[in-house]
Amino acid sequence: MQNVLRNVWYAAAWSCDLIVGKMVDRTILDVRVVLFRTAAGTPAALSNMCPHRFVPLSMGKLCNAGSTIECAYHGLRFDAFGACIGNPQGNVPRGARVRAFPVAECYSAIWIWMGDPDLANASLIPSIDFLMPEDWAVGTGVSVVRSDYQLETDNIMDLSHIEFLHPMFSSEAVRSGKMESRQEGDTVWSRRMIYNDDPPEFIRKAFQIPAGKRVDRWLDVRWNAPAIMALWTGGVETGRPRAEGIDWRSAHFFTPVDANTTLYFWAISFSRAVDGSEQLAMESRDALRYPFENEDTPVIEAAHANMRGREFWSLQPLILRGDGGSIRARRLLQSMIARERGETPTASAVPLD
């Protein structure tokens, strides 16, 4: 896959979906990978192709309490580091191995590093405290989308689409809010403030605003490369400090399968300090799947198909007020890719507010 950042962590699976004794077959940046969890609980990721006759290792079976993969075809065995440790036909050929990818587990997810393994460092994973399973009940989901992953970044970074795609969650106030986008180092923020709003009932309920009172609301999205977004949406009685308000938290990670396919990892979490947080997380997860898969996805897939492989900027997209965050994220990512390749960045020079 061309034009992607390699030396960065990609979300590969939610922790809860990687179970000892089960293999997960993923394609990431057009590379086939098999994920599994050793008997000790450590996640591992190997190239999903036996070096003998190229059969996907994920068609084989896990042995040794889940820590070793045996190829389905001729029984070669590989450990979690990719070393061939068993050959039914005799000695293990010298140096026989498959590529192993660095993996890390944190924030309820399994992360994979597709680039230079010497640069892999778990501290580079953007901190998402509200996905730490010790303190938060986390509901998670995965969807496959037939689209380039950056159209998904655009979707999350510009929430003015809510009014049109998600009438159920809509309030005109979202659109008329004060928008702001900002880059801080390698982080991009897209923020939206709505002051002194007389909100619809579901908003009142979500943020516990008494009848008759007005509300100040916010929608804050934080982006990190390659497509790791955290979203805080909250509200407080007008005039009161934000810290007194109520926040809903969700995470949105997009991992390129190939140039036309993206894995969408989404999560919503609730503090374990709250009664019923686990059930709330499960219910909210189930409630979110519908709009993501039935409202966002068809539109994004149709846009991707309409692009027919043409590069985003070559289509001279119209820039609207809500695009600040997504354009900043696209530019920053492009410059990081250029830096990684030792090239001079050539991102668009469209002026933003």
Binding site residues, its own copies, CB under 8 A: 32, 48-49, 51-56, 59, 70-76, 84, 87-90, 93, 96, 151, 154, 158, 160-161, 163-165, 175, 298-299, 302-304, 306-307, 315-322
Please calculate the CA angle 223-190-4 and round it to the nearest 5 degrees.
35
Helix (H) or strand (E) holding 300: helix 297-307
- The pair phi, psi for residue 136, each rounded to 5°, is -130, 140
By beta-carbon proximity to its own copies, the closer residue of 13 and 174 is 174
Q: Choose among 179, 198, 205, 199: nearest CA to 190.
A: 179
> Shortest Cβ distance from residue 231 to its own copies (Å)?
18
Determine the Cα–Cα distance for residues 134 and 140; give it in Å rounded to an integer. Answer: 15
Q: Report yes or no: 195 and 230 within 8 Å, Cβ to Cβ.
A: no
State the minimum distance, in angstroms, from the CB of residue 30 to its own copies: 9
- Nearest distance from residue 8's CB to its own copies, in Å? 24
Nearer to its own copies, 45 or 109 (CB): 45
User: Closest Cα to residue 308, out of 179, 148, 163, 172?
Assistant: 148
Query: In the complex with its own copies, which residue's Cβ is closer, 48 or 108?
Result: 48
Coil, strand, or helix at residue 281? helix
CB of 236 to its own copies, least distance (A): 25
Q: Which is nearer to its own copies, 92 or 132 (CB)?
A: 92
Residue with tokens 């090239």: 343
Q: Which is nearer to its own copies, 154 or 197 (CB)?
A: 154
How long is the chain?
A: 353
Please state the closest distance from residue 218 (CB atom) to its own copies, in A. 18
